[in-house]
A and B are shown apart, each in its own frame.
Chain A
Amino acid sequence: MDRLILELKNLRFYFFVPHITMILAGFGVLATLKNSSDLAACASIIQIFVSGFAVWWPILILKEYLHSPGKEVLFVYKSAQDNLIVKMFLLWGLYALHAVVLFIYFSTLFQPVIYLLIATIIQCLFLIALAYVLSLLLQNTFIPLLFNFAYVFTFSMVVYSDLPISIFTRGIPDNPGILNTSVVVLIFAGILFRVGYQREKRLYKNSI
């Protein structure tokens, strides 16, 4: 955990980018509700800004493991607890915590928020898993980041959100029915983490 804190400290200003996007999401939702009270549009804004930036910290931390000079030092002292996959889950947890705080604010604007919160947190997990796999597969962090934003901006828009490859929910998020997609997304996230972990084990062994 101490190492993760130092790794986050190393991000300096970039650490606060997700905070900024979450504040933007707050303003976006507020503006949408003032104009039209369109909860479906609010859900889209939240999914773009909150889910879309879930990969930010994981990608920047993976960058050190893939691109920094002297990264071998990070691998030399490896142990079972030092897996990147554990870091991905911790970062997801940290991000989910931020999302919960934001949703507490949203709960003052509209009700219910719980289903959208659960769906969003699961989307975040999926996107982190995808970024984790792609980064280790491509040995690159820029392409997964681009892919993430392209995917999120394309499929979180209402018009594309009903395509089968979209992980996003559509419509008014006021019933547990919107979590049907989330179950599938959760399963896929698990599969991606499994594949990523296999890559990670090989990363230690042969890819320096």
Chain B
Amino acid sequence: MLTVKNLSKSYGRKKVLHSIDLELDKQVYGLLGANGAGKTTLIRCMAGLYEPQQGQVLYHNQPIQKSALFLHDLGYLPQAFGMFQELTLYEMMEYICCLKKIDKSQYGSEIKQALSSVNLEDKKHDRIKTLSGGMIRRSGIAQAIIGFSKVIFLDEPTAGLDPGERARFKNMINTIKKDRTILISTHIVEDVDACCQSVIVIEAGRVLFQGSCDQLKQAAAQKAYQVKAEDSDKIYGEKYILKINEVNGEIYHRVLAKEKQNYPYEENPTLEDGYMCLVKGIA
């Protein structure tokens, strides 16, 4: 459906994306990567905002630059969202409907549906500048899903959301995901675990992994250990301390180790374990 072929992008002499190849189908993808890994640049290239130096993005086998269908189907939420501060939320949604060339007779129903998806229907007459950060974020999500959007790119959609709003966001994604390609860029692993079927891990502009969440978890199979703090030093070989937490007054370390240790490994490694194993070269 959406194919990224050999895509490279540089800013001046700095190469940010290195020959990226991706195949995206109708499901929810999590684009995981550290800050500065190239997630936003990749999404902007895929949305047609940036022209890559090399490679192309195809939608139904047609370059996105030449595909009217792609613009018709696209929903995009940038990292920062909050333009037209003096418009009401409803007017802002009308503006987005104009941008997406939605039929005027459908504005009302489309806006109602999008706003109810993000639980902002009661705020439709409020001006954007009076909304809280979380509400603006949700209004951004609403504008991305409004209309016919079959391909939705969400760049850090949960940044700035409180736990309740994050939970609502995940529920919303699970509600709307049918027959849609949704790419969620984030560095929050729990978000990916909660609502994505597939994961793309990007590091320093290179795709390290593309597969299902379970496959990524398997990258940490027999590599994650929960040990007491004092035993942490006894873990030999290449290792990475992922978490330090307190259980019943005792400090425990969650350690990722490349080699098999004399401690029992975690039977069910988490997505975070898998991701960190991959990024730290422990997998």
A-side residues, CB < 8 A to B, are 2-3, 6-7, 9-12, 64, 68-77, 79, 82, 204-206, 208
Contact indicator B100/A77 (Cβ below 8 Å): yes
Which residues on the A side are within 8 Å of B74 (C-beta)? 76-77
- Chain B proximity of A55: nearest CB distance (Å): 20
Whether B48 sits at the interface, judged by CB under 8 Å, is yes
Residue of B nearest to A77 (CB): B99
Whether B91 sits at the interface, judged by CB under 8 Å, is yes
- Interface centre among A10, A71, A79, by most B CB within 10 Å? A10
Which residues on the B side are within 8 Å of A12 (C-beta)? 86
Assembly CA distance A64 to B84 (angstroms): 7
A-B contact list, 26 entries, CB within 8 Å: A2-B104, A7-B84, A7-B95, A10-B84, A10-B85, A64-B83, A64-B84, A68-B82, A68-B83, A68-B85, A69-B82, A69-B83, A71-B83, A72-B44, A73-B96, A73-B143, A76-B47, A77-B71, A77-B74, A77-B99, A77-B100, A79-B71, A204-B49, A206-B50, A208-B44, A208-B49
Contact indicator A70/B98 (Cβ below 8 Å): no
Task: Give the interface SS of chain A, mostly helix, strand, loop or mixed.
Answer: helix
Which residues on the A side are within 8 Å of B85 (C-beta)? 10, 68
Contact indicator B71/A72 (Cβ below 8 Å): no
Query: 1/0 per position for B143-171, CB-CB distance to A under 8 A?
Result: 10000000000000000000000000000
Q: A3-B95, A69-B78, A77-B71 are in contact. List 19 more A-B contacts (CB 8 A).
A: A2-B98, A6-B84, A6-B87, A6-B95, A7-B95, A9-B87, A9-B91, A10-B85, A10-B86, A68-B85, A69-B82, A70-B140, A71-B78, A73-B81, A73-B83, A73-B143, A74-B99, A76-B48, A76-B49
Assembly CA distance A64 to B74 (angstroms): 22
Assembly CA distance A76 to B100 (angstroms): 10
Which residues on the A side are within 8 Å of B140 (C-beta)? 70
Residue of A nearest to B153 (CB): A76
Assembly CA distance A110 to B94 (angstroms): 45
Whether B80 sits at the interface, judged by CB under 8 Å, is yes
Assembly CA distance A11 to B71 (angstroms): 28
- Chain A proximity of B138: nearest CB distance (Å): 13
Which residues on the A side are within 8 Å of B84 (C-beta)? 6-7, 10, 64, 68
- Listed from nearest, the 4 A-B pairs whose CB atoms lie closest are A70-B81, A68-B83, A69-B80, A69-B82
Assembly CA distance A102 to B204 (angstroms): 60
Which residues on the A side are within 8 Å of B272 (C-beta)? none
Contact indicator B78/A73 (Cβ below 8 Å): yes
Assembly CA distance A205 to B44 (angstroms): 10
Assembly CA distance A172 to B76 (angstroms): 56
Assembly CA distance A73 to B153 (angstroms): 11
Whether B51 sits at the interface, judged by CB under 8 Å, is yes
- Chain B proximity of A30: nearest CB distance (Å): 34
Assembly CA distance A6 to B90 (angstroms): 11
Which residues on the B side are within 8 Å of A68 (C-beta)? 82-85
- Chain B proximity of A56: nearest CB distance (Å): 15
